[in-house]
Chain A
Amino acid sequence: MTHLLRMIVEPGFFGNAPVRVALLAGGVVALVSGVVGMFTVLRGQAFAGHALADIGATGGSGAFLAGINPLWGFVGIGVVAAGIMEMIGIRRPRGRDVATGIVLGAGLGLAALFLYWDATFSNTTGATISVLFGSMFVISGSTAGVIVVFSLLALTVVGLLYRPLLLSSVSTDMATVRGVPVRITGLLYLLAMAVAVSLAALTIGAILSTALLVGPAATALRLTSKTGLAVLWSGLIGIAATWLGILLAYDSFYWPPAQHGWPVSFFVVTLVFVFYLLAQLPAVGRLSGARARRARNGG
């Protein structure tokens, strides 16, 4: 038993400080992404989420250039981009994709410039890799603290707006008639989503953070019909993918090519995808109970 466990969990896994910080920060970020992501899927804002994630690269690369903690770059640019999207008209069904696309394009243009300067003028050679693909194992303790604070903030916003968000996902008109301030609700949610993907940009990278936003949510909605439970599942699936990913990345130090290790982001994102595929199996779909009733009624 111990032997088996040692094969899976390499010796020193939990004794390793970067691993412990990664487990904490990565887990918290995955929880936030999963919870926020469920509403992203419900509201059909996956493209906006993806754009906010990608634009994080602009903030991250800019922060490396300025020599400040990339976390502030990610979060700062995310919040600004969300604000611009709202101003351009993300709340209009037809303006939504256009607003997102325009902001995304402009943001990535700046990212190209910043990453080029990072690579040519400053000594931050690893900037491109860590901005685009994350830096889970080099998160400092103090950064982890800030991550936890931002995570709590995003979770609080989504928790408070739970019902208004849900109702306006069904129909903005129904929500308005029921007294929901739809526009401010939408803007606050967009900001929470910006924070979620910014934090995920730090752990698994700016261009991969969408996977953690959308993947666990898309998986969870196959597992249950209860909204609250689906939100919880989404968060847990994100955490599971992140922790397993960290474990595999730690183990992969001994995989070929030896002594280099595989990137943790690869494992996390792949696990998210595998979970999603598993949830598409018909047996899992039956868990939501809907099909069973259809079969009973013969329709």
Chain B
Amino acid sequence: MTDLSGEAVTDLDEEAATSLDAGTVASLSGAAMTAGQHLTGTGGDALTVDGISVRLAGREVLRDIHFTVRAGEFVGLIGSNGAGKTTLLRVILGLQQPSAGVVRIDGADRPRHAPAVGYVPQKVLLDPDMPLRARDLVGLGLDGNRLGIPLPTRRRRQLIDEMLRAVGAGLFGDERVGNLSGGEQQRVLIAHALISRPRLLLLDEPLANLDIRSEQEIVELLARVAREQQISVLLSAHEMNPLLPVMDRIVYLAAGRAASGTTDEVVRTEVLSKLYGQHVDVIHVHGRILVVAGRGDGPAEPVGEDGAHCAVPDWL
């Protein structure tokens, strides 16, 4: 069982990694194919991360990361603080150069001037002193790269109003962004990222520092956006539970390596133990999942309320 689960994990051993990865990518995208096509009917990968490694100040932060996000899929990028989630997102965005590997973003049949990727960074400091209304920030998502002062055309206003309503920010469009609550700011930032109609939306810890209710609202909003507008969502979080109801697939990041697949495929004792390089227990409690560092270095024991969660899937 332990040997087989190695296939879902990018192995630390480089020589073994090449052969294992080919298998992983093939089997994982095979597993996802059904879900992806079921959802979109079009298929096609919105994002392919192929063998990405990143070295920062001599330390290997990410090592040979592989996964794909298909059109219209909601994918959670899960990992603890310092696991490399932000770095990985920055590589996908082209803000950080990888030391190896390629990122492919399907940008075909896109209108000109519209970026293929929308981005909501972590910790955007929105100063209450800043004379910037929610609608101004959304407008900058539309044409923030253009020269000159924006002309207040009816079309522009309409687009911004529609977008604000779509994210449930219609009521505070004229407020200063800095005066909005954390959840309200997230909605505005999401509107900023979405108004240019990207095919892929990346969000870096959008649920951090939100109260439980806002957290749930933002997750539902993103799931609805992904479904209705056929936008692929890749969202990083250190906590997977709020995402369980909406997540099509998971990319689990630990110790600089990643395992990807459906939650049931990836969040299992033997897969995560291999990924972390130490024994962890995956415990299912009332529909929530806890990953707990275990003791002992013997072979991983399946842990869970339901034995079926730990069964080896066919593709392994």
Which A residues are closer than 8 A to B by beta carbons? 41-42, 159-164, 166-167, 169-171, 173-180, 220-221, 224-230, 288-290, 293-294
Contacts and interface: CB of A to CB of B under 8 A. Distances in A.
With a 10 A CB-CB cut-off, give which of A169, A170, A180, A224 has the most chain B CB atoms. A170
A293 B121 contact: no
Interface string B16-41: 00000000000000000000000000
Contacts of A289: 174-175
Interface of B: 90, 93, 95, 115, 117-119, 121, 124, 126, 128-133, 136-137, 140-141, 143-150, 172, 174-176, 179, 192, 196
A294 B133 CA distance: 15
A186 to B, nearest CB: 14
A176 B115 contact: no
B81 to A, nearest CB: 19
A183 to B, nearest CB: 13
Contacts of B179: 290, 293-294
A290 B176 contact: yes
B132 A161 contact: no
B175 A225 contact: yes
Nearest to B143: A163
A271 to B, nearest CB: 22
Given A159-B149, A162-B149, A293-B175, A180 B144 contact: yes
Contact of A171 (B115, B121, B149, B174): B121
Given A177-B93, A221-B131, A225-B174, 13 more contacts: A41-B129, A163-B147, A163-B150, A166-B140, A173-B93, A177-B118, A178-B140, A178-B141, A178-B144, A178-B196, A226-B133, A227-B133, A228-B149
B131 A230 contact: yes
A166 B176 contact: no
A174 B121 contact: yes
16 contacts: A159-B148, A160-B148, A163-B143, A164-B147, A166-B144, A170-B137, A171-B121, A173-B93, A174-B124, A177-B118, A178-B115, A178-B144, A179-B115, A221-B130, A227-B133, A293-B172
